[in-house]
Structure 1
Amino acid sequence: MCLIGMKRVVISAKKEDRMASRVVTKLLGTVLMVAVLVVPLAMAYDEFDLRPWTNTPIYFQGWNYRPDIVEDNVRRYNEELGGHVQYSTIAGDYSAIMETKLVVGAPLDVLYGHAYDAIRYYRGGWILPAEELPNIEQIKADMYPTIIKALSYDGKLLGLPYFTSVIGCVAVNLKLLEKVGLTPQDFPKTWDELYNQLYEVRKRGLEHPYLPPWYVEQWGIPWAFIYETLNRGGRIVDENGEPLLTADGPAGDTLRAWKRIWNDGLVPHEVLGYKEADFLEAWESGQYLYTPTMLYNLKRHNDPYYSAIAGYCSVIPYAGQPWGMLDIAAYLMTAHPRTEGAKHDVMAFTSWYGYKDHHGEFFVANRWLENSMLFSGYRPVMESPLAEAVMKKALARPEDYRAALELYEHVQYPAELFQQPWAAEFQSFLREILDEFLLKDLPVEQVIQAMRDEINRLNAMYK
């Protein structure tokens, strides 16, 4: 966590990298100032004691992603600051399991959550907003405004950034691209161009040129529908949660495109039964030309330990149509009754883990960036030489560095949908109805109406 003098680092002096630096500066769009709520306990960062004041254990839980790194980070906090943090990994339906734990008051102090989880938990009275952290002003000053907006509700920042990325950027197998007689100049610029190109690729000998991200997790087929609808210019709901989906609009266009490539046999039908791990292995086998993926997964896709196409996995650049949407997760604090000392301990650990350590460095965020190419919601992390070096090393082509930054700059976010307290439930519904749509060849109009009906039902239930 490297920001002692709070200076903004310019990425490079070369002309091309100066351009990339300007892209990073514009990263995530808006430059609007976000109002900071000043809490009575506000104090300078170096006055916030990150050491525990009590011997009360802190229970920290997260989903199953690199628990080895998390455990080692926690070990460092405990050893160097005398902490009492106990970390455990949750397997299964993470959002549902954590909500149950919160409802019953199970031992839990700090947890991962997506932005829509945070809003739902906050409305339930189960989490303590990050807005109450003593060093919140400095934290917000280092965050991108759009990340603040995505993680805020009712004027309060709910959690500290764990990671940000783009989900739905389209990876390219450069080996197969050359084999079927195409070049990067032939990259599609829109979803429709991509789907149309699949037919030509099949004529050139590749039976299944496309691996769709229709796996079972909520960030699989439900998110694929959401971000493709967004990329085509549509919205799922308005600011009040009222449905905007229509059969003759972007949502219907998405379904028609999916039905066509499914029925025409351009995609492997077994993908509907995949979990994300199966999906990643299938892509990294080298059998497919294109697949939507997480931007951070490009590092893994180019690692020979995992991938048969290491060094040959590129990405389709932005050329007018955004690809995918912003994925963001946060560290959240529970609102369990605590003594003032125990409350300080939870806040101190959360600040250390989700912001800067006791040396004033972005230790955890930098480690995620270096090990997994997880992007950060903090400017000093993303605008550092480390970020540039990590990305250039992980990507297949030199031009992919700028392409990744531009994808990030133009990324969309379904704020109106994810601000709804029923967002997670609607995603579960999407998974079921979209599977049925493909497997039973349901009419587009019927499926869109079912989505609208479900949104109306959820709105009525939460009024």
Structure 2
Amino acid sequence: MMTPLQQYWMSRRNVLKGAAAMSAVTLAGRPASAAPATPLTFIGWQYQPQIVSENVETFKKLYDENVTYELVSGDYHPVVETKLTGGQHIDMMYSEEDHLARWHTADWTRDLEGLPDLESIKAGMFPVSVTSLSLPDGKLMGLPYYAGHNAFIYDEAQLSKAGVGVPDSADALLDACRKLKKDGVSEAPYNSAWGQKWSELSWSIFACWYAEGAPVFDANYDLVPDAAFRKVLEFHRTLYKEQLVAADIMTMPDEGVPSYCSGRHTFMVLHDYDQKVVNDPKLSKIAGKVKNALMPFKTHSTFAWTAAYVMGKQPVDVDRTWNLVRFFGGKAKDGQYHVIKRWALDFGLGSGYKEVMSDPDIVSSFSKWRDVDISNKQLSLGTSRKVAKMIWFSEWDLFMMQHVQDYIRGDGSTDQLVDRLVTKVADLKKQYQ
């Protein structure tokens, strides 16, 4: 029998084969009485698809619309690219920020400039979200699905047992881990997402790079392997070498969150919304003991991102599709944030809108499982990855994760790794010029 936590992750990540077809068939061909005959097409990834289906139904009733929703199982972005390359028509789809420019360059999506109320919508967003959702030329490519950042958490009871304070630097964090291990409080005090997925090692190591003050890339999108960049690499290698992390950290399922919920670890860098999971008594053995603090590196910045709803290049109707994008990625015509507020209250997902994040219901809900003031300060210090708008970035990112994993395990020197990463940037820029 599965535990509640296993059931949660099954619901969140693992959708049964055939669910995509079921979703498309169930929602297609059931227009309201005044709905257009031609449906809008919406394609989405594996996160709470049953709720997305409900949201589609709400939109259809509110706007007298007709929508076909298709769920993509598997690795979302490559699957969608295959569909688009094959000529499948899509009016609205999800996208992470590192695919916005790539899909726009491929002529699969259109920017939102000139659409009704766009300037006032931008003004209501956090600046870091506007940056995340924009092309290098400033054109907005999508509206917020959710806004997140990598957060730093700790088990307060374990720190108290070891007589250790909350670390505020990389060196202090290493020393705290060493003491926790030596004293037998935790065999693997540090945990994070180190797998080879765009939302795992890429996000967690960029969070550490930005927190230490590394720009990572300069204004020309060349790699900057400065002292801060190298220190973070060596920090990761030291954690692994001294067995301050679990031996299977690079293959842990579900970004390592279930492992942290078991009480095995003291510290973790994780997606901010997963703080709700680790402090849920139904899902976590250490609920109520987990606190958040600013990233314990030199500048205390972090990686912040905003996922998007984007519009296909040639929607069946621009006005109808804009209504769909605004309903899911903003405020509906009745003045309600139907989708965004539900994500926040039910699952702890942050929003790119200032108004949403100051909503009393959301503030009250979030305060039950994290320090909201610290979280807001962390977000204000967050850094958006402008380099992710380069069409070659996703390829470099995968290359980086593969070679950083090898380096952490002990392969080669820091200089050798840096040379590989710098050379790969140059090769990709030449390839895509």
CA distance in 2, matches of 1:155, 1:164: 19
What is the match of residue 12 of structure 2?
Answer: none
Equivalent residue in structure 1 for 2:361, among 349, 368, 386 = 386
CA distance in 2, matches of 1:144, 1:226: 20
CA distance in 2, matches of 1:441, 1:220: 20
What is the match of residue 364 of structure 1?
Answer: 339
What is the match of residue 380 of structure 2?
Answer: 409
Preserved CA contact (<8 Å) 1:216 1:275: no
CA distance in 2, matches of 1:190, 1:55: 59
**Aligned residues between the structures:** 398
Preserved CA contact (<8 Å) 1:216 1:274: no
Equivalent residue in structure 2 for 1:288, among 256, 261, 265 = 265
> For the aligned residues, what is the CA RMSD?
2.0
CA distance in 2, matches of 1:449, 1:91: 37
CA distance in 2, matches of 1:170, 1:99: 33
Preserved CA contact (<8 Å) 2:99 2:389: no
What is the match of residue 30 of structure 1?
Answer: none
Alignment of 1:293-442 (within 5 A): 293-317=270-294, 321-336=299-314, 338=316, 342-395=317-370, 400-415=371-386, 417-442=387-412
What is the match of residue 258 of structure 1?
Answer: 236
What is the match of residue 158 of structure 1?
Answer: 141
AA partner of residue 283 (structure 1): Y
What is the match of residue 179 of structure 1?
Answer: 161
AA partner of residue 299 (structure 1): K
Secondary structure, in 3 states, of the residue corresponding to 1:331? strand
What is the match of residue 57 of structure 1?
Answer: 39
Preserved CA contact (<8 Å) 2:142 2:311: yes
AA partner of residue 170 (structure 2): W
Preserved CA contact (<8 Å) 2:190 2:265: yes
What is the match of residue 91 of structure 2?
Answer: 109
CA distance in 1, matches of 2:249, 2:46: 21
Give 1:255 shift: 1.5
Give 1:440 shift: 4.5
AA partner of residue 268 (structure 1): A
Question: Structure 1, residues 228-265: CA drift from partner, whole Å, max 9, x if none?
Answer: 1222111222122222124xx22211121111121111
Check 1:323–1:52 CA distance in 2 against 1; reply closer, same or farther (3 A cut): farther
CA distance in 1, matches of 2:97, 2:34: 28
Check 1:389–1:419 CA distance in 2 against 1; reply closer, same or farther (3 A cut): same
Check 1:195–1:52 CA distance in 2 against 1; reply closer, same or farther (3 A cut): farther
Preserved CA contact (<8 Å) 1:164 1:329: yes
Check 1:271–1:368 CA distance in 2 against 1; reply closer, same or farther (3 A cut): same
Give 1:93 shift: 2.2
Give 1:91 shift: 2.6
Equivalent residue in structure 2 for 1:236, among 184, 208, 216 = 216
AA partner of residue 361 (structure 2): L
Question: Structure 1, residues 270-321: CA drift from partner, whole Å, max 9, x if none?
Answer: 11112325x1111111111011011111111111221111111111236763
Check 1:335–1:289 CA distance in 2 against 1; reply closer, same or farther (3 A cut): same
What is the match of residue 194 of structure 1?
Answer: 173
Preserved CA contact (<8 Å) 2:132 2:385: no
CA distance in 2, matches of 1:87, 1:309: 38
Gaps of at least 5 residues in structure 2 are 1-32
Alignment of 1:112-131 (within 5 A): 112-131=94-113
AA partner of residue 189 (structure 1): D
Check 1:346–1:220 CA distance in 2 against 1; reply closer, same or farther (3 A cut): same
- Higher relative contact order, structure no. (Cα contacts within 8 Å, ≥ 6 residues apart): 1
CA distance in 2, matches of 1:216, 1:175: 31
Check 1:313–1:89 CA distance in 2 against 1; reply closer, same or farther (3 A cut): farther
Give 1:223 shift: 2.2
Alignment of 1:73-112 (within 5 A): 73-112=55-94
Preserved CA contact (<8 Å) 1:59 1:110: yes
Give 1:130 shift: 2.0
CA distance in 1, matches of 2:40, 2:281: 38
What is the match of residue 269 of structure 1?
Answer: 247
Question: Structure 1, residues 68-116: CA drift from partner, whole Å, max 9, x if none?
Answer: 2211111211233332222232232222222222222213221111122
Preserved CA contact (<8 Å) 1:52 1:81: no
Preserved CA contact (<8 Å) 1:175 1:309: no
Preserved CA contact (<8 Å) 2:128 2:384: no
Check 1:149–1:208 CA distance in 2 against 1; reply closer, same or farther (3 A cut): closer
Question: Structure 1, residues 4-40: CA drift from partner, whole Å, max 9, x if none?
Answer: xxxxxxxxxxxxxxxxxxxxxxxxxxxxxxxxxxxxx
Give 1:458 shift: 0.8
CA distance in 1, matches of 2:104, 2:143: 14
Identity %: 25
AA partner of residue 221 (structure 2): G
CA distance in 1, matches of 2:400, 2:409: 14
